[in-house]
Amino acid sequence: MSEQITNILLVGVGGQGILLASEILSETFMLAGFDVKKSEIHGMSQRGGSVVSHVRYGKEVFSPIVPEGEGDILFGFELMETSRYLSLLKPEGAVIVNDLRIPPPSVLMGQVAYPDGLADQIRNRFPDFLLVDGQKLATEAGNPRAANTVLLGAVSKRLDVAEEFWIKALEKMVPAKALEINRKAFIMGRAL
Amino acid sequence: MKEILSGNEAIARGAYEAGCRVACAYPGTPSTEILENVVNYNEINSSWAPNEKVALEVAIGASFGGGRALCTMKHVGVNVAADPLFTLSYTGVNAGLVLVVADDPEMHSSQNEQDSRNYAKFAKVPMLEPSNSQECKAFTRLAFELSEQYDTPVLLRSTTRISHSKSIVQLEEPVTGLPEPRLIRNASKLVMLPGNARVRHPLVEERISKLSKDGATMAINRLEMRDSAIGIITSGVCYQYVREVLPTASILKLGMVHPLPHDLIREFAAKVKALYVVEELDPFIEEQIKAMGISVIGKQIMSICGELTPERIQKAFASIGVATAPAVAQPEESPAKLPPRPPNMCPGCPHRGVFYTLNQLKAYVTGDIGCYTLGFMPPLSAMDTCVCMGASVGMATGVTKVVSSEEQKKVVGVIGDSTFLHTGINGLMDMVYNQSPATLIILDNSITAMTGRQDNPASGYTLMDDPSHRIDLPLLCKAVGVKHIRVINPFDLEETRRILQEEMNRPEPSVIITDKPCVLIKREGVFEKGIVLEVSEDTCTGCRACLKIGCPAIEWRPEGEGSKKGKAYIDPFLCTGCDVCSQLCKFNAIRRSK
């Protein structure tokens, strides 16, 4: 399949801000002069269900969805959802995940436990693994709600797109009053 | 100027650039965002209609009055709008009329995966199908032009993957110089009595033949000759998948999927060694090509069920030796072992206590389409049927016609405010008229919630955010003839149970209306978070009673790893203070926080 396409998957729980993060990624790639497509499923997933967003960029992108096993980067907003979608990645793919556990209904109800040791399991299978304490770093940047932007900074470091385009996209997509904190959070993530 | 737009945003932009005057819709995934974006163009009068039939009728009126009109809906919405659509095909238009229908292959958010292309053939109207956002915009503009040129409504088909994918779009200026709308009288064309309709029908047949012939030279139907060993006829998002999976194949890309350009298909078939059709859902193109006497492979290697994906197409072509098999991913950790994460009602959702009570009362619940369909999920598990918009009411009546008088008491229909006004109201007329003993609950949360909070005739606002009359639901039910109408607070479990039991026992039609708003409504003064609840660790016995409502804000915390003992915990950020859980606690362990 297309070799010059970079495939990024954003996974997590409905309501975590996955759509906004994927918009910022797409905007950045367009500003940097690439063709870009992104795709996700709305609807039922908004009610706290599992969410996957696909973002692809390169010279010319056809399919808006990433073929299974072709993902370059898995950008995880939550640990269990990251584990769920590992098969979308290439064997040499990178995993960048927020160190966050959101219990699904069966765990909330005490029927099963939230799986243990997920981070280690992911690391064993994908050595290019980065676990980020997004909330902690975002709090340092000025607001724990900027955790996604810290992660975005970490993802940006692995992509061959100049910093100016990322900042421009943030300026366009993030509300003015939250921009400074998000810029700071992004730079912190990029330094990881 | 370039922008990244979703297919839906691009269709809205296309309507704006085409000088569209009126846009009307009923929300439905994956079509909803089209009107939510159209409303940002002040030149277009945009509105939510109570249902898809009304939405299309409004668009028809606008077109007859000489203004270009857009109507949008999800695939099943066309079932509701089919009545005006089929006769609109006969009348034709005055100004361009485009009906966008968004299909949902794989049923990501739908109850069936019907293929709307069949409607184009059935109603004898042309259908365009874009394959990315740029084409969504361009095809929408073109659809308005074709509509006027051929005097026909034009269907524009999208699918979830087109509507909800984003790609780069080149923006253009809107067209100018369109005729001003005015009253145009032309009764022999617009009054479809038998005498007039008999004159119109042959024109419809001529129109479709002409479109098929003209399709051969339309730029949106495009031959892409590469390796002549494989020729693929495709359209929509499947075109993109084919380019990805079979980059060397020759392609006939159809921008108009009905009527098919027969001459172009013959030309393409003659140029390639083997001919295939790659299409999602029904063998719509394939069967017509076979009827032309041309041999073609399609559904023999690709499923009719579900959406196609690059892998599924690659596997299909690998199965006949035309492509290499996709690299099989070897999941070391089976995802099946991970607990699933299904969607759930929000914390503080006013539906939760009602479904808990229905479960407790062992009601037989005829359900409907909305967030409350999630009442089917455990632990609430209180829904027995769900078919289509508005069906809860008729089904409740129907069930009571056949079961014993004792079982009749268990039958409860459940419907939301928006769905009730969509098509439920007709069912209620029947329930009263024919004296069904069933009970109907209208879950009035003041919004169309499932599709992302759209206003409706009972919410008090329009799509353009103007305050409007708010239908008085109890008064409406009274006008229909319901004698027993109870308005309840669904957060009061004791009251909910008592009134439900009373009305279920009553051998007459009755309506119960809940009146608490959706927690997601952002409009000021509608929903306000109450005082958050907390669990007293000293008093909590770990009985798990509060877990029976499946609230995402309540978590069971075991004492230690693998321990059966534990206590409940309430997440203060998620809790809205609805207070339903505290009513389940016999030990008074859940209290308002200080």
**What's the fold here for domain A6-190?**
Pyruvate-ferredoxin Oxidoreductase; domain 3 (3.40.920)
CB spacing of A87 vs B2 below 8 angstroms: no
- Within 248-307 of B, beta carbons closer than 8 Å to A belong to none
φ/ψ (deg, to 5) at A8: -120, 135
Contacts of A23 in chain B (CB under 8 A): 4, 166
With bands split at pLDDT 50, 70 and 90, how would you rate the model's confidence at A1?
A: very low
- Chain B residue with CA closest to A69: the answer is B329
Four-way CATH pick for B533-592: 3.30.365.10, 3.40.190.10, 2.40.370.10, 3.30.70.20? 3.30.70.20
pLDDT score at A2: 43
Is any Cβ of chain A less than 8 angstroms from the Cβ of B51?
A: no
CATH number of B2-217: 3.40.50.970
- Chain B residue with CA closest to A106: the answer is B339
- Could you give the angle at which helices B493-505 and B352-360 cross, rounded to 10 degrees? 50
| pLDDT tens per residue, range B523-551 | 988 999 999 999 999 999 999 999 999 99
Average pLDDT over residues B259-286: 98
- For chains A and B, count residue pairs whose Cβ atoms are closer than 8 Å: 169
Average pLDDT over residues A124-139: 96
Is any Cβ of chain A less than 8 angstroms from the Cβ of B462?
A: no
CB spacing of A64 vs B329 below 8 angstroms: no
CB spacing of B326 vs A69 below 8 angstroms: yes
CB spacing of B335 vs A115 below 8 angstroms: no
pLDDT score at A133: 97
- Does residue B181 sit in helix, strand or coil? coil
The residue ranges of DSSP E strands in B240-294, in sequence order, are: 249-253, 256-258, 274-278
User: In Å, how far is A95's CA from the nearest CA of chain B?
Assistant: 15
Provide the pairing of β-strand A89-98 with A35-40: unpaired
Q: Where are the domains of chain B?
A: 2-217, 222-319, 352-514, 533-592
The residues, ordered by sequence, that sit 6+ positions from B197 with a Cβ below 8 Å of its Cβ are B87, B90
pLDDT score at A3: 56
- Chain B residue with CA closest to A25: the answer is B4
pLDDT over 50 (residue B436):
yes
Contacts of B166 in chain A (CB under 8 A): 23, 26, 36-39, 64
Contacts of B31 in chain A (CB under 8 A): none
- Copy the structure tokens of residue B131: 């394959």
Is any Cβ of chain B less than 8 angstroms from the Cβ of A135?
A: no
| pLDDT tens per residue, range A110-122 | 999 999 999 999 9
CB spacing of B338 vs A84 below 8 angstroms: yes
The residue among B333 and A97 whose pLDDT is bigger is A97
The residues, ordered by sequence, that sit 6+ positions from B84 with a Cβ below 8 Å of its Cβ are B53, B56, B57, B60
Contacts of B4 in chain A (CB under 8 A): 23, 26-27, 30, 36, 38
With bands split at pLDDT 50, 70 and 90, how would you rate the model's confidence at B377?
A: very high
With bands split at pLDDT 50, 70 and 90, how would you rate the model's confidence at B326?
A: confident
The residues, ordered by sequence, that sit 6+ positions from B231 with a Cβ below 8 Å of its Cβ are B249, B250, B251, B252, B268, B269, B271, B272, B273, B274, B275, B276
| Equal CATH topology for B2-217 and B352-514 | yes
> Which of B108, B243, B311 lies nearest to residue A41, judging by beta carbons?
B108
Domain B352-514, architecture per CATH: 3-Layer(aba) Sandwich (3.40)
Kindly report the number of other CB atoms within 10 A of residue B345's CB atom: 24
Contacts of B311 in chain A (CB under 8 A): 67-68
Is any Cβ of chain B less than 8 angstroms from the Cβ of A42?
A: yes
**What's the fold here for domain B222-319?**
Rossmann fold (3.40.50)
Q: Where are the domains of chain A?
A: 6-190
Average per-residue pLDDT in chain B? 96
CB spacing of A47 vs B335 below 8 angstroms: no
| pLDDT tens per residue, range B391-407 | 999 999 999 999 999 99
Is any Cβ of chain B less than 8 angstroms from the Cβ of A173?
A: no
Average pLDDT over residues B65-80: 98
Is any Cβ of chain B less than 8 angstroms from the Cβ of A61?
A: yes
With bands split at pLDDT 50, 70 and 90, how would you rate the model's confidence at B329?
A: low
| pLDDT tens per residue, range A36-91 | 999 998 655 567 899 999 999 999 999 999 999 999 999 999 999 999 999 999 99
